[in-house]
């Protein structure tokens, strides 16, 4: 039987033939392409010609192309449409791919060729070629090329163990998430919940052949419950279940995995001559070092703390005087905050939902992107997808094919929580990208289309900003394309696009009542903009606490930590006004830093917010659909990927360095 992964894809735009691919195809295909890649590397090493950029760097860049597509598909599916069988295959594939990466990075002959080019005359190379050369050289050095054989072997062991532990961490969080559900049989327990949440819970119960209503830890179910449910005991139950992911006395416990990951990352950093994993990571970021990051976070903390304290006192007073709570607990904050917001702005998120039917929001987003960057989107039923919920779009620019976009919007059992953008094929010279956005939005019901919250609208725009970074990429080399940029720059395109959600001119394109087509009232728009600053002190403090927690795990003292919960409490408590919940632990489900790529980099969300607030001020000044400004952002940011240092790219677009005051002003923390 032919393996569909090992033949040329006879599909539109050479997209993955998902309908033909079975789980059993992945491992043999990966093993085969690993052999192919090693032969390609051997050919480069055996070349007797003087090492040059073309016969060494370009050749390395082109090697393993098919393997990248196959392994990328495996890991993407393991996040979006997993199964026990797929997880087993991923567990077997991860160490093989890590070994290959080490076989390449620790190949002394290959590194010698790269070093020869790096230390030679590079005057005739383009800016992009120089960037690729520097990235490859540093990549080899930062992955052990200068180590002795004993050290290289230890590095291999560490990397393979980390690959396994990272996968185990994510699988444990997903398993605990799927294991819990709140089954409600009494209608009285639904008091306060909006119809949309009740309808969705009813539908979920029916799918499990249960009477009543079913609530889960998926965000579209969990968030409305914690925000609106009047039954305080049930909110507490949901909060504990959410906080216990990876923190229970069962086979999914992540505490020892965290300690192992932290210790191994530190050992790896020390092996390479760094004081900590954070020092290793930050060397290649815009921030450069831990001191700069801590200074940045502390500055924002100082500016946001007074406002946050004031906001917390308001929550306490409301809870005591209006709800009769002796003490406001963690599971009360979202509920009370929503009550305050409803009174202050005379509206709630649920009132807005009828104006945000997902199909209309998506079409409006397409209109905005077409106005800004000239892209058009059309569903192409000929493009195969990995699940019936997924839609595939053919993306065109100036009438010509430009990209493929997969859109996967609703929760299901085999899909991890959250929202993300990923790539099935990167852009490079002559190759257009295949991009995917994956979210977990409130699904449609039998009676209504998917009506999403305003928060989900901003999430959609956020992930679409990442997708634009991928779809509009226009570089020579895939290694520098799209989101292949400094991690503290990668959030700029995503966060800047969120700003359009608050602009009347943009809202007019998609915020229409799903039944009447009436445009969202102007007073709602005014309230949305005012509500955008609601409790920004607390929100900022919360994000900063995650950044500090991340750095505490990955700084010099990380390996000295021996109790996950005790450490987390010590770091987080100064940022939290509610009492700590002993049953809950954030670290054991902190997938961003223990499964994803944000270790020692979670600060980058706030770092990029400074960039996006400053960048959007130019759009406000010139007009949010100003073609010249949009073209400049396209030319200097979206299309350039990682071809130059990000600050150079940003300054070319903005004409100056970013000003942090723009963020503080937008958040209402300074005036």
Q: Which residues are catalytic?
A: 463
Select from 360, 370, 467, 449 the least CA-distant residue to 410.
Answer: 449
Helix (H) or strand (E) holding 170: helix 149-179
Residue 489 CB contacts under 8 Å (≥ 6 apart), including other chains: 286, 604, 608, 611, 646, 650
Structure-token pair, residue 317: 């007073």
Handedness of CA 600, 605, 606, 611 (dihedral sign): positive
- Give the C-alpha distances (Å, rounded to integers) separating 448 from 106, 233, 354, 390, 451: 56, 30, 9, 19, 8
> How many angstroms separate the CA atoms of 536 and 457, rounded?
18
> How many angstroms separate the CA atoms of 364 and 581, rounded?
42
Helix (H) or strand (E) holding 213: strand 213-215
Structure-token pair, residue 70: 């196959």
Radius of gyration (Cα) for the chain, nearest Å? 25
Helix (H) or strand (E) holding 422: strand 420-425
Select from 600, 573, 533 the least CA-distant residue to 304.
Answer: 533
**Residue in the block written with tokens 């670290």:** 587
State the alpha helices, DSSP H only, in 324-387: 333-345, 349-352, 358-373
Longest dimension (CA), the chain: 82
DSSP 572-625: HGGG--SPP-TT--SGGG-HHHHTSS-TTTTTHHHHHHHHHHHHHHHHHHH-TT
**Strand partners of residue 423:** 435
* Long-range CB pairs of 656-665, under 8 A, 24+ apart, other chains included: 658/610, 658/611, 658/614, 658/615, 659/610, 659/614, 660/299, 660/610, 660/614, 662/610, 662/613, 662/614, 662/616, 662/617, 663/609, 663/610, 663/613, 663/614, 664/303, 665/613
> How many angstroms separate the CA atoms of 461 and 502, rounded?
11
> How many angstroms separate the CA atoms of 605 and 488, rounded?
7
Residue 111 CB contacts under 8 Å (≥ 6 apart), including other chains: 105, 140, 145
Helix (H) or strand (E) holding 467: helix 454-471
First to last CA, the chain: 68
Q: Are 606 and 264 in contact (CB under 8 A)?
A: no
> How many angstroms separate the CA atoms of 421 and 466, rounded?
6
Tell me 444's DSSP state.
Answer: P
> How many angstroms separate the CA atoms of 448 and 195, rounded?
11
> How many angstroms separate the CA atoms of 302 and 307, rounded?
10
> How many angstroms separate the CA atoms of 316 and 312, rounded?
6
Q: Are 404 and 394 in contact (CB under 8 A)?
A: yes
**Strand partners of residue 434:** 404, 425
């Amino acid at each position: 039987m032919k393996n569909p992964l090992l033949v040329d894809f006879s599909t539109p735009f050479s997209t993955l033939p998902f309908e033909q691919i079975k789980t059993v195809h992945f491992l043999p295909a990966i093993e085969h392409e690993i052999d192919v890649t090693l032969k390609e590397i051997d050919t480069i090493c055996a070349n007797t010609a003087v090492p040059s950029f073309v016969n060494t760097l370009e050749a390395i860049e082109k090697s393993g192309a098919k393997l990248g597509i196959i392994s990328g598909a495996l890991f993407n599916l393991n996040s979006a449409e997993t199964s026990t069988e797929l997880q087993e295959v991923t567990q077997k594939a991860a160490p093989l791919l890590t070994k290959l990466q080490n076989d390449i990075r620790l190949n002394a002959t290959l590194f010698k060729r790269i070093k020869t080019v790096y230390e030679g005359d590079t005057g005739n190379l383009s800016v992009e070629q120089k960037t690729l050369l520097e990235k490859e050289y540093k990549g080899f050095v930062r992955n052990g090329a200068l180590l002795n054989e004993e050290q290289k072997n230890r590095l291999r062991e560490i990397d393979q163990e980390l690959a396994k532990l990272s996968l185990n961490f994510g699988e444990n969080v997903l398993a605990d998430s799927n294991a819990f559900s709140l089954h409600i049989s009494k209608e009285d327990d639904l008091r306060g919940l909006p119809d949309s949440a009740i309808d969705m819970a009813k539908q979920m119960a029916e799918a499990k052949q249960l009477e009543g209503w079913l609530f889960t830890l998926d965000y579209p179910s969990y968030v409305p419950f914690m925000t609106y449910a009047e039954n305080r005991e049930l909110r507490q139950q949901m909060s504990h279940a959410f906080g216990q992911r990876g923190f229970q006395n069962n086979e999914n416990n992540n505490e020892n995995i965290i300690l192992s990951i932290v210790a191994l990352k530190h050992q790896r950093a020390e092996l390479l001559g760094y004081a900590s994993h954070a020092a290793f990571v930050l060397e290649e970021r815009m921030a450069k070092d831990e001191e700069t990051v801590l200074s940045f976070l502390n500055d924002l903390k100082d500016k946001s703390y007074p406002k946050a304290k004031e906001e917390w006192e308001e929550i306490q007073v409301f809870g005591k005087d209006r709800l009769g709570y002796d003490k406001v607990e963690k599971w009360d904050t979202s509920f009370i905050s929503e009550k305050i917001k409803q009174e202050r702005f005379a509206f709630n998120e649920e009132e807005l939902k009828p104006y945000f039917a997902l199909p209309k929001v998506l079409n409006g987003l397409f209109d905005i992107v077409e106005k800004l960057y000239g892209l058009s989107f059309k569903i192409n039923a000929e493009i195969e997808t990995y699940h019936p919920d997924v839609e595939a779009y053919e993306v065109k620019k100036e009438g010509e094919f430009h990209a493929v976009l997969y859109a996967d919007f609703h929760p299901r059992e085999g899909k991890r929580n959250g929202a993300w953008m990923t790539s099935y094929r990167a852009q490079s010279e002559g190759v257009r990208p295949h991009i995917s956005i994956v979210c977990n939005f409130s699904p449609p019901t039998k009676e209504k289309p998917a009506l999403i919250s305003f928060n989900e609208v901003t999430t959609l725009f956020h992930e679409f900003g990442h997708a634009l970074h991928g779809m509009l990429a226009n570089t020579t080399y895939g290694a520098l394309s799209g989101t292949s940029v400094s991690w503290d720059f990668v959030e700029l395109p995503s966060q800047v696009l969120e700003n359009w959600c608050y602009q009347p001119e943009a809202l007019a394109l998609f915020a229409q009542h799903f039944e009447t087509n009436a445009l969202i009232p102007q007073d709602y728009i005014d309230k949305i903009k005012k509500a955008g600053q609601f409790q920004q002190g607390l929100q900022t403090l919360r994000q900063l606490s995650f950044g500090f927690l991340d750095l505490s795990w990955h700084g010099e003292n990380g390996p000295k930590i021996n109790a996950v919960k005790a450490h987390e409490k010590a770091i987080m408590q100064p940022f939290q006004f509610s009492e700590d919940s002993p049953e809950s632990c954030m670290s054991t489900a902190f997938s961003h830093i223990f499964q994803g790529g944000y270790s020692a980099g979670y600060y980058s969300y706030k770092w990029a917010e400074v960039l996006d607030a400053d960048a959007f001020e130019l759009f406000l000044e010139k007009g949010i659909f100003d073609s010249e400004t949009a073209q400049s952002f396209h030319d200097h940011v979206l299309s350039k990927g990682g071809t130059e240092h990000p600050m150079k790219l940003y300054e070319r677009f903005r004409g100056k360095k970013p000003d942090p005051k723009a963020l503080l002003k937008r958040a209402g923390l300074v005036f």
